[in-house]
C-alpha cells in the first residue's frame, strides 16, 4: 500500500474516438477458435477410430476363438480350431510390471529426494542429467544389454535367492538361463527409473518453502522435514510419476522380447524362464500371423489398453480421494 | 517457562552480503518486544537468527552471540534442531501442514519430541488450542484438514502448534500481515495473553500494532539499499512512540520516511 502524500498518476492515453460500437468478433479470435476447436474434435475422431478398429477386429477374433479367450493357457490362432487366451500374457505383463514398480519407485523417490534435498548443488544437477540420460537410451539397447549382460550375471543372485527364499515358491530357481519375468522386471525397473525420478524430483522441488520452514521451526531434522512436509506434498505427484512409469513398463516391447524366453505357461516361480507379456507376444508373432492371427493379437492389444486405462483410473481415484488434504488447496 | 535473550555483536550474512551489522540487545522474559523498521532493514533476518532459522537459507551465516539465559545458541556443540524446539516461531503467512488434520497439526511438534500416549496428546492439543483461542471454533472438527480454516484461524492454529511444545520463546514474523482486521485483533488479544507465559518477539510493519501489543520496541534502519541493517534504538514502547532519543526513529514513526 502506498500512503505517500504525493500519489503518482500515470498519464492516460487520450480516447481514440469515444465510440464503443464496432464488430464484436475479430478475425484473429475466430481463426484461433476454429483451430483449437478443430484440434479438439480431430483428437476425439482419431481416438474413436482407433477404438472402433480395435473393437471390430477383436470381436472377429474372440468370436472365432474355440476356447475361452480369458483363461486359455495357449496361443494357437491358426487352422480351423483356433485356441488362444490371454491368461499367460496378463499374468506376465502384470507380474513383470509390479516387480519393476517395486524396485524402481523406492529407488527413484530416494534419488529424487537426494537430488532435491540432500545433494550439494554442484553434485545435484550433473546427477539429474545422468538420470535423464538413461531415458534417452533406446529400448533395444536395454534389451541387448539385458540379454547379454544382465541374464548371465543374475543366475548367481537367483541361486542365492533360491537357497534362502526358495521355499516361498516365488523365488525357486532351477539353474536355467535367467531369461525370466523377474529379470524382465529388473530391466523394466531400470528403464522406468528416469521418468519416475525426474517427475518426482520436480514435485519435490516445488514444495513451498513455508511448508518446510513450518517443520523446521518445530525442531524437525532434515529427515523429519521430508516426512512431514515434502513427502505429503509430493505424494500425488509421485503416484502420477509411478503411473507414467507403469504405463511404459506395461507396454514395453523390444527389451522384453529380447530378454524373455517365452512360453505359454503360468509359472509361480518368477525366477525360472518362461511366461510372456502382451507387447512381447504381439511383436514376436505379428509378422508371421495370417489375418485371423492378427485379429487375435489385436484383441490381446485391446486387453492391454483396457488394463492400462484401469490402472490410470485407479491412480486418479487415489489422488482424488485425498484431494482436500493435498497441498494444492493451501 | 520464559527465558531472557541477550544478544551481543551479532552479524548475519547472505553469502557475501552482510544483512545485519553488529546488533546487541536484551529481550526481557514474559514481555512482548516489537521490531519495527523499513523493509529490508534486517528485522526479519535478525528474528530468524534467534532460533537459528537464518542458516537454513542457502548462504546464510551468523557471527556473534545469542544467550538464552546462560546458554549460547551459537556455541559449539549446540544442536540447531534442539534450539528450534526451545524457541518457537510463527510465520508471516499461516502455514499449517496441508496434509494434516487440525489435531495432527497441533500434535506435530510433540510427536517430533518423542512418544506420547493418545490421552496425553489429546490434553495438550486441547490446552494449546484453548491457549490460541481457537478451541471453541474447531473442537467439533479436529480431524478435518487445517487448510480448510480461514486465514485468521489458520494463523491461530500455527500459534497453537508453536505453543504446544511449551517453548521458552515465541518469535512472530509479521503474524498479522496476511490477515483481515478482525483476525488481527484476535491475534493481538492472544499475544497479550501469551506474554504471561512466554517471551515474545514480534516483527511488524504496523506501528499501531507495535504500540498496542508490545512492552518494548526496537527500531531498525539501514543506511542505504544494499547496506546492512542496524539497530537504531530499543526502549520502552511508550517512550519510542512519544519521545524517542534518536531523530531517525521519530522521523520513521511520524511517517516522514519508510
Beta strands in chain B (DSSP E): 5-14, 17-27, 32-36, 60-68, 71-72, 87-90, 169-173, 199-203, 216-222, 229-236
User: Which residues in chain B show pLDDT less than 50?
Assistant: none
> What per-residue confidence (pLDDT) applies to A18?
72
Q: Which helix (H) or strand (E) element contains residue A84?
A: strand A83-84
| CA-based nearest distance A263→chain B, Å | 47
Q: Is position B132 within any domain? A: no
> What per-residue confidence (pLDDT) applies to B172?
95
B157 contacts in A (CB within 8 Å)? Answer: none
**Between A325 and A96, whose confidence is greater?**
A96
Q: CB-based contacts of B121: which residues, under 8 Å, 6+ apart?
A: B107, B110, B111
Q: Is position B144 within any domain? A: no
Among chain A residues, the shortest Cα distance to B55 is held by A216
Residue A1 has pLDDT above 50, yes or no: no
> What per-residue confidence (pLDDT) applies to A325?
53
> What per-residue confidence (pLDDT) applies to B210?
94
Give chain A's contact residues with B (Cβ, < 8 Å).
3, 208, 210-211, 213-221, 224, 228-229, 232-233, 235, 322, 324-327, 329-330
> What per-residue confidence (pLDDT) applies to A330?
36
State percent of chain A over pLDDT 70. 92
Residue B230, CA atoms < 13 Å, CB-side half-sphere: 10
What's the pLDDT tens digit per position in A138-162? Answer: 999 999 999 999 999 998 899 889 8
Residue A323 has pLDDT above 70, yes or no: no
**B5 contacts B71 by C-beta, under 8 angstroms:** no
CATH number where B182 lies: 3.40.50.300
Among chain A residues, the shortest Cα distance to B161 is held by A218
Q: Which helix (H) or strand (E) element contains residue A75?
A: strand A75-76
Instruction: Indicate the SS3 state at residue A95.
Output: helix
**ipTM for the predicted complex:** 0.89
> What per-residue confidence (pLDDT) applies to A328?
45
CB contact (8 A) between residue A218 and residue B145: no
With the CA atoms of A211, A214, A217 and A221 taken in that order, what torsion angle do they form, in degrees rounded to the nearest 10? Answer: -50
Residue A143 CA to residue B218 CA, distance in Å, equals: 69
Residue A40 has pLDDT above 50, yes or no: yes
> What per-residue confidence (pLDDT) applies to A135?
87
> What per-residue confidence (pLDDT) applies to A17?
65
Give the total number of structural domains in chain B: 1
Q: Domain limits at B243?
A: 5-93+168-254
Q: Is position B157 within any domain? A: no
How many residues make up chain B in this entry?
258
CB contact (8 A) between residue B147 and residue A233: no
Spans of all domains in chain A: 86-329
CB atoms within 10 A of CB A267: 19
Looking at the DSSP bridge assignments, the partners of residue B200 are B32, B170
Cell numbers that stand for B143 in this block: 480431524
Residue A75 has pLDDT above 50, yes or no: yes
Residue A329 has pLDDT above 50, yes or no: no
Residue B28 CA to residue B84 CA, distance in Å, equals: 19
CB contact (8 A) between residue B84 and residue A215: no
The confidence band for A7, taking pLDDT boundaries of 50, 70 and 90, is very low
Q: Is position B153 within any domain? A: no
> What per-residue confidence (pLDDT) applies to A15?
55
Going by C-alpha positions, the residue among A330, A170, A227 that lies closest to residue B154 is A330
Determine the topology of domain A86-329 in CATH: MetI-like fold (1.10.3720)
The confidence band for A13, taking pLDDT boundaries of 50, 70 and 90, is low
Residue A274 backbone phi and psi in degrees, to 5: 125, 175
| CA-based nearest distance B191→chain A, Å | 19
Residue A136 has pLDDT above 50, yes or no: yes
CB contact (8 A) between residue B99 and residue A221: no
B112 contacts in A (CB within 8 Å)? Answer: 218-220, 224
Query: Mean pLDDT across the stretch A173-192?
Result: 91
Residue A26 has pLDDT above 90, yes or no: no
Among chain A residues, the shortest Cα distance to B48 is held by A217
**B9 contacts B24 by C-beta, under 8 angstroms:** yes
A207 contacts in B (CB within 8 Å)? Answer: none
Cell numbers that stand for B91 in this block: 510465520
Instruction: Indicate the SS3 state at residue A262.
Output: coil
A218 contacts in B (CB within 8 Å)? Answer: 84-85, 88, 108-109, 112, 161-162, 165
- The dihedral through the CA atoms of B222, B223, B225, B230 has a sign that is negative
The confidence band for A20, taking pLDDT boundaries of 50, 70 and 90, is confident
> In terms of DSSP H, where are the helices of A71-180?
87-113, 121-134, 139-145, 151-165
> What per-residue confidence (pLDDT) applies to A166?
83
Amino acid at each position: 500500500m502506498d500512503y505517500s502524500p504525493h500519489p503518482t498518476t500515470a498519464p492516460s492515453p487520450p480516447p481514440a474516438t469515444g465510440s464503443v460500437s464496432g464488430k464484436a468478433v475479430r478475425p484473429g479470435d475466430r481463426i484461433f477458435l476454429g483451430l483449437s476447436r478443430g484440434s479438439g474434435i480431430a483428437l476425439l475422431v482419431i481416438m474413436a477410430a482407433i477404438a472402433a478398429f480395435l473393437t471390430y477386429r477383436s470381436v472377429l477374433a474372440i468370436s472365432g476363438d474355440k476356447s475361452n479367450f480369458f483363461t486359455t493357457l495357449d496361443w494357437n490362432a491358426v487352422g480351423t480350431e483356433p485356441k488362444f487366451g490371454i491368461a499367460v500374457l496378463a499374468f506376465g505383463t502384470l507380474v513383470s510390471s509390479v516387480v519393476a514398480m517395486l524396485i524402481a519407485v523406492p529407488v527413484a523417490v530416494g534419488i529424487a529426494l537426494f537430488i532435491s534435498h540432500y545433494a550439494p548443488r554442484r553434485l545435484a544437477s550433473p546427477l539429474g542429467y545422468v538420470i535423464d540420460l538413461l531415458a534417452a537410451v533406446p529400448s533395444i539397447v536395454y534389451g541387448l544389454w539385458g540379454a547379454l549382460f544382465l541374464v548371465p550375471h543374475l543366475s548367481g543372485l537367483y541361486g542365492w535367492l533360491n537357497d534362502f527364499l526358495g521355499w516361498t515358491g516365488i523365488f525357486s530357481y532351477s539353474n536355467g538361463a535367467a531369461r525370466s519375468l523377474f529379470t524382465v522386471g529388473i530391466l523394466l525397473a531400470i528403464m522406468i527409473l528416469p521418468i519416475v525420478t525426474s517427475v518426482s524430483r520436480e514435485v519435490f522441488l516445488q514444495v513451498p518453502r513455508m511448508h518446510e520452514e513450518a517443520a523446521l521451526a518445530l525442531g524437525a531434522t532434515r529427515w523429519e522435514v521430508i516426512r512431514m512436509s515434502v513427502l505429503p506434498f509430493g505424494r500425488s505427484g509421485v503416484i502420477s510419476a509411478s503411473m507414467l512409469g507403469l504405463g511404459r513398463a506395461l507396454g514395453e516391447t523390444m527389451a522384453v522380447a529380447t530378454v524373455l524366453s517365452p512360453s505359454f505357461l503360468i509359472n509361480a516361480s518368477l525366477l525360472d524362464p518362461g511366461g510372456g507379456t502382451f507387447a512381447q507376444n504381439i511383436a514376436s508373432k505379428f509378422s508371421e500371423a495370417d489375418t485371423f492371427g492378427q485379429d487375435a493379437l489385436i484383441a490381446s492389444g485391446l486387453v492391454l489398453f483396457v488394463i492400462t486405462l484401469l490402472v490410470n483410473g485407479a491412480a486418479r481415484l487415489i489422488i482424488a480421494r485425498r484431494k482436500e488434504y493435498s497441498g494444492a488447496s493451501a | 517457562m520464559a527465558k531472557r535473550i541477550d544478544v551481543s555483536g551479532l552479524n548475519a550474512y547472505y553469502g557475501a552480503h552482510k544483512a545485519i551489522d553488529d546488533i546487541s540487545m536484551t529481550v526481557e522474559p514474559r514481555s512482548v518486544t516489537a521490531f519495527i523498521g523499513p523493509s529490508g532493514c534486517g528485522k526479519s533476518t535478525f528474528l530468524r537468527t534467534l532460533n537459528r532459522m537464518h542458516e537454513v537459507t542457502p548462504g546464510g551465516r551468523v557471527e556473534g552471540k545469542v544467550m538464552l539465559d546462560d546458554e549460547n545458541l551459537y556455541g559449539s556443540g549446540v544442536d540447531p534442531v534442539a534450539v528450534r524446539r526451545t524457541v518457537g516461531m510463527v510465520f508471516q503467512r499461516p502455514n499449517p501442514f496441508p496434509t494434516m488434520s487440525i489435531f495432527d497439526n497441533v500434535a506435530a511438534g510433540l510427536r517430533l519430541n518423542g512418544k506420547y500416549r493418545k490421552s496425553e496428546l489429546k490434553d495438550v492439543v486441547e490446552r494449546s488450542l484453548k491457549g490460541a483461542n481457537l478451541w471453541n471454533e474447531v473442537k467439533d472438527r479436529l480431524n478435518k484438514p487445517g487448510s480448510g480454516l480461514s486465514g485468521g484461524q489458520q494463523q491461530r492454529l500455527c500459534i497453537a502448534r508453536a505453543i504446544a511444545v511449551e517453548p521458552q520463546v515465541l518469535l512472530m514474523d509479521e503474524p498479522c500481515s496476511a490477515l483481515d482486521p478482525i483476525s488481527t485483533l484476535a491475534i493481538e488479544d492472544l499475544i497479550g495473553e501469551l506474554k504471561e507465559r512466554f517471551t515474545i518477539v514480534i516483527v511488524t510493519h504496523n506501528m499501531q500494532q507495535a504500540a498496542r501489543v508490545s512492552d518494548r520496541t526496537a527500531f531498525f534502519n539501514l543506511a542505504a539499499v544494499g547496506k546492512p541493517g542496524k539497530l537504531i534504538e530499543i526502549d520502552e514502547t511508550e517512550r519510542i512512540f512519544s519521545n524517542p532519543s534518536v531523530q531517525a526513529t521519530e522521523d520513521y514513526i511520524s511517517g516522514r520516511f519508510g
